[in-house]
Amino acid sequence: TTPDREADLVATYDDSASLPKKVLIKNLTTPGAIMCIAEDNKSSGTDGGTLTDDADNIRVINTLVYNRNSFASISSNRLTLPTGTWEVAWESIAGGDADNGFHQSFLYNVTDAAEVKRGTSGEYNATSGESKNVSSSGCTVVTIAASKAFEIRHRANYTGNTMRGGNASSFGTEVYLRIVVRAA
């Protein structure tokens, strides 16, 4: 049958069997296959919360938009991934009324208390009362021998008013963080 990557069987042979036997292969994943998509979703009109100046702000992870075969879990703004090699890509938004500033997101391994990979740096400048969103994104490959919990952290440095984790558009569900995990 055509593999569905969920309950795939392969024929195997051994000397004790008179006929081929089929064996279920678990965790069969094609490299590049999306395993999960996790986001920070807020109701329409709700901004992304305040980013504290000169601090590593833990970004909200509150929704598993896609979760192949219950691959991952989220709890307390942490995304837990199982044993394996995974490509982790993310995009994290900053915005607000700060006069100017800089920001950068990064993937943090909570289980091992270690920074994994820094995302792109962004410059934020909202002169003349402007308010806008600027993203920081990153991508890396992680190999883990046991399940581990990860966070997206976001450092902001600004002057003036407030920098938030994104300004609301009020068109529908607000998305301020997206993490996509693929099989590597």
Predicted local confidence at residue 1, as pLDDT: 44
Predicted local confidence at residue 22, as pLDDT: 54
What is the average pLDDT across 74-102? Answer: 91
Give the position of tokens 């976001």: 154
What is the average pLDDT across 115-141? Answer: 85
Residue 109 CB burial class (10 angstroms; 0-12, 13-18, ≥19): middle
Residue 163 and residue 98 in contact, taking contact as beta carbons nearer than 8 Å: yes
> Could you tell me what percent of the chain has a pLDDT over 90?
66
Q: What are the tens digits of pLDDT across the range 34-62?
A: 999 999 999 999 999 999 999 999 999 99
Give the position of tokens 């994994």: 116
Give the position of tokens 């965790």: 27
Predicted local confidence at residue 17, as pLDDT: 60
Residue 89 CB burial class (10 angstroms; 0-12, 13-18, ≥19): middle
Predicted local confidence at residue 41, as pLDDT: 98
| Whether pLDDT at 11 is above 70 | no
Contacts of 170 (CB under 8 A, 6+ apart): 44, 45
| Whether pLDDT at 24 is above 90 | no
Predicted local confidence at residue 164, as pLDDT: 87
- 80-94, 106-120, 146-160: range with lowest mean pLDDT: 146-160
Among 159, 166, 154, smallest CA distance to 56 is for 154
Predicted local confidence at residue 131, as pLDDT: 64
Residue 1 CB burial class (10 angstroms; 0-12, 13-18, ≥19): exposed
